[in-house]
A and B are shown apart, each in its own frame.
Chain A
Amino acid sequence: MNDEHTPPPIDTPAPVADGVLHPLDPRFIQHSRVVGGITTTAIAAGLVLAMIIVLIAVDSMPRVLRLLIPLANLAIIAGLGILTWRWPVVEYRRCAYRVDRDAIEIRKGVAWRSVINVPRSRIQHTDVSQGPLERNFELSTLHIFTAGTEHSEVTLAGLEHSRALRIRDHLLTGGENDGV
């Protein structure tokens, strides 16, 4: 009974620092699909517009082309559509992160894969940012800034907002030994 009232020992890592590899929030897939959908729609609109202009403006066009151009257009748009639907899933599967007492490890990339390890003591500051769409899905992006050159900024998108805040708090506290 008493245990409930004793504060946890200071050395106990925060709950986020469990050293386990976590996937991103599944809502990130929906979020990516919406972002991709907007882009695809814009590209599709442009393509259709260009096609209509070409079909109207060019009189002497072989009938084969008149048939082929819309078909090709349709194929491109369909391809983009499939990509928009599938890619976020593939990307989601390849993304993961692990936070422990001393560092944060971020894995991402489908073709160009990377695992980046940033020790806590090297973090200069962090940002948690939310775009309008991310806010809608209660997601946010964690930006980690180091003094490095190539990795002066490391980002991790697709975190649940409250979790991102907890990770940020964990990364920033207790770093007094880094000789600032």
Chain B
Amino acid sequence: MTGSSQRLHPFSIVFLIFGSLKGFLLPGGVLVFSARNSPWEVWAMWLAIPTALYGLFRYFTTRYAFADDELVIRTGLLFRNERHIRYSRIQNIETVQNLLHRALRVFDVRVETGGGAEQEARLQVLSLDAVEEMRRHVFEGKQRSARDPALADAPVESDAAAAQPEGARVLVRLELRDLIVFGLVQNRGGLVVAAILGVLWEADFLDFDWMGSSSIRSLVQYVVDSGALQNWDLAVIAALAGIFVTFLVVVRILSVGWAIVRLYGFTLTLAGDELRTSCGLFTKVRAVIPLRRIQLISMRQAPLQRAFDRVELRVQTAGGDQGASVSREWLAPMLRRAEVDSLLADVIPGPGFEAMEWQGVDPRAWWRELRTSLRIIAVLVLVGMWFVPQTLLITVAVLLAILAYFAARGRARIFAFALADDRVAFRSGWWWRSTCLARYAKVQAIKLGEDPFDRRWKMASVSADTAGGGSHRITIPYLPVAQARSVFDHLGARVIETAFRW
């Protein structure tokens, strides 16, 4: 075991105490500014003191060390915990810097091994040198460092992309214009609205008089009382439509704001066999993902993105994605459709999405899709007969059926899969299209499935399970039984040939 154990950066005290106290900040602030002053809440604030002391305690009891092949983190005093994380198991390293971190030139470091739902280690905070040392230890021992010592020693955390190490290549860089388009097509405004409403709710702004007008609650009360809802005249409808449209526009503007704050200066860099991403206006998030850790690559296209001919491309590494920041997954939040394959060629050399030979599913697939939808519509109609006037019900049912027809046709047309030398790809979705790709070496298990409906139509599905999370999986439905069988066998044979490396 080499390397002596080290303490976190002294500034950690600030962040650990602040982190412990975070839970008290919002209620505390509300207590100061709002009229609601229940004694219980005031007394609860005294809990902040032991909490802060706990933060201090954590700083003095946390030590880490770089052993030959593992990272060792010791925490605790009475209940000691010593965690050993093998370098070879580390999936990615992420550093987060908010404004305070940036002012103090320190980094909040998260290490993930793909074990559980959370990151395996969080070191807050480390200095630039310590982060550098960590990165060297974790990713050293690969031929790259021997071949190109300059690369191994180059700082990963240099602030400007211009100072990237020699041999590193910027694959994707988003300009402000891209971010605006991204914000427009990706509706993240809802998140912002939800956050604002949350704060307002906490602060009781929704209840008492605010900006001289009566509260929102009494506004709703007024609308209900005035009987406006009984006689829907044009003015009311126009006003409601106006409010709705304004709301949509505001949400889109907030979405653009969100995109700029989160993704400002997004760059994806390929350095040796590591992918590095960096983004953020105030809080800078940087991630290092070794290429061989990529389990699954997925491409998504929402309707508006299709209109702009843009896609978003993500990589899935093994392990819990719940706590991880989304920005780490992004290969490119925003990319022209035509540029996807050339980016893929850098990340996993071999045929890209365009170059692969896509095969469709059974031609009867659309009919099965439609039957499923029609069954649901039939149930809705049966339930609706008691509540809805007959003419309205029939109109809605017919419209839904027409929509279902186009959806079924569209979905069946898009379903496709491709098998290449070392990889399998699958695409699905009509309005929201998803395509994903995995190398055989990253496939963990293969399944041939037949549900009762499949059997009636002599079809089956084939799925290839990987360690990568995410909602889109490789599950090819509606294959004729014989074809499903041969795809299943092919996958099995190819997967066995390859050795899985974490």
Q: Are B488 and A117 in contact (CB under 8 A)?
A: yes
**A121-B466 contact in complex given A112-B451, A115-B488, C-beta closer than 8 Å:** no
Closest CB-CB distance, B114 to chain A, in whole Å? 7
A151 within 8 A of partner (CB): yes
Bound state CA distance, A116 and B467, in angstroms?
Answer: 16
A113 within 8 A of partner (CB): yes
Q: Are A113 and B445 in contact (CB under 8 A)?
A: no
Which of B448, B468, B492 lies in contact with A114, CB distance below 8 A? Answer: B448
Q: Are A179 and B467 in contact (CB under 8 A)?
A: no
B449 within 8 A of partner (CB): yes
Chain B residues with Cβ under 8 A from A118's Cβ? 444-445
Bound state CA distance, A178 and B501, in angstroms?
Answer: 6
B447 within 8 A of partner (CB): yes
Nearest A residue to B465 via CB reads A148
Q: Are B445 and A117 in contact (CB under 8 A)?
A: yes
Bound state CA distance, A78 and B328, in angstroms?
Answer: 58
Chain B residues with Cβ under 8 A from A115's Cβ? 447-449, 488
Mark B462-474 against chain A: 1 for CB-CB distance below 8 A, else 0: 0101111100010
A141 within 8 A of partner (CB): no
Mark out the residues of chain A between 51 and 83 whose CB falls within 8 Å of any chain B CB in the assembled complex: none
**A148-B449 contact in complex given A102-B496, A119-B495, C-beta closer than 8 Å:** no
A111 within 8 A of partner (CB): yes
Nearest B residue to A150 via CB reads B465
Q: Are B499 and A103 in contact (CB under 8 A)?
A: no
Which of A111, A114, A121, A150 lies in contact with B500, CB distance below 8 A? Answer: A121
Q: Are B496 and A151 in contact (CB under 8 A)?
A: no
Bound state CA distance, A122 and B448, in angstroms?
Answer: 18
Q: Are B465 and A151 in contact (CB under 8 A)?
A: yes
Q: Are B492 and A103 in contact (CB under 8 A)?
A: yes
B446 within 8 A of partner (CB): yes
- Tell me the interface secondary structure of chain A in the complex: mixed
Chain B residues with Cβ under 8 A from A173's Cβ? none
Which of B444, B447, B488, B501 lies in contact with A179, CB distance below 8 A? Answer: B501
A38 within 8 A of partner (CB): no
Mark out the residues of chain B between 94 and 120 whose CB falls within 8 Å of any chain A CB in the assembled complex: 114
Q: Please, how many residues of chain B have a CB less than 8 angstroms from a CB on the other chain? A: 29
Which of B450, B451, B492, B496 lies in contact with A121, CB distance below 8 A? Answer: B496
Bound state CA distance, A116 and B450, in angstroms?
Answer: 12
Range of interface residues on chain A? 20 to 34
Bound state CA distance, A112 and B452, in angstroms?
Answer: 6
Q: Are A103 and B500 in contact (CB under 8 A)?
A: no
Bound state CA distance, A67 and B467, in angstroms?
Answer: 58
Q: Are A117 and B502 in contact (CB under 8 A)?
A: no
A146 within 8 A of partner (CB): yes
**A119-B496 contact in complex given A149-B468, A151-B444, A151-B465, C-beta closer than 8 Å:** yes
Closest CB-CB distance, B298 to chain A, in whole Å? 13
A177 within 8 A of partner (CB): yes
Q: Are A146 and B452 in contact (CB under 8 A)?
A: no
Q: Are B467 and A148 in contact (CB under 8 A)?
A: yes
A147 within 8 A of partner (CB): yes
Q: Are A116 and B446 in contact (CB under 8 A)?
A: yes
B476 within 8 A of partner (CB): no
Closest CB-CB distance, B141 to chain A, in whole Å? 14
Bound state CA distance, A25 and B68, in angstroms?
Answer: 48
Chain B residues with Cβ under 8 A from A96's Cβ? none
Mark out the residues of chain A between 120 and 164 whose CB falls within 8 Å of any chain B CB in the assembled complex: 121-122, 146-151, 154
Nearest B residue to A104 via CB reads B445
Which of B447, B449, B488, B500 lies in contact with A122, CB distance below 8 A? Answer: B500
Q: Are A178 and B451 in contact (CB under 8 A)?
A: no
Q: Are B447 and A117 in contact (CB under 8 A)?
A: yes
Closest CB-CB distance, A142 to chain B, in whole Å? 14
Closest CB-CB distance, B487 to chain A, in whole Å? 12
Which of B451, B466, B467, B492 lies in contact with A117, CB distance below 8 A? Answer: B492
B275 within 8 A of partner (CB): no
Bound state CA distance, A150 and B445, in angstroms?
Answer: 9
Nearest A residue to B498 via CB reads A121
**A116-B496 contact in complex given A111-B451, A150-B465, C-beta closer than 8 Å:** no
Which of B445, B468, B500 lies in contact with A154, CB distance below 8 A? Answer: B445
Closest CB-CB distance, A52 to chain B, in whole Å? 36
Closest CB-CB distance, A109 to chain B, in whole Å? 8
Which of A105, A113, A149, A179 lies in contact with B465, CB distance below 8 A? Answer: A149
Bound state CA distance, A151 and B491, in angstroms?
Answer: 16
- What are 29 A-B pairs at a CB distance below 8 A? A103-B496, A105-B492, A111-B452, A112-B450, A112-B451, A113-B449, A113-B455, A115-B448, A115-B449, A115-B488, A116-B447, A116-B448, A117-B447, A117-B488, A117-B492, A118-B444, A118-B445, A122-B445, A146-B444, A146-B445, A147-B467, A147-B502, A148-B445, A149-B473, A150-B445, A151-B445, A179-B499, A179-B500, A179-B501
Given contacts A112-B452, A117-B447, A146-B445, 16 further A-B contacts (CB under 8 A): A102-B496, A103-B492, A105-B492, A113-B449, A114-B450, A115-B449, A118-B444, A121-B496, A147-B114, A147-B500, A149-B465, A150-B463, A150-B473, A178-B499, A178-B500, A179-B499
Binding site for A on B (CB under 8 A): 114, 318, 443-452, 455, 463, 465-469, 473, 488, 491-492, 495-496, 499-502
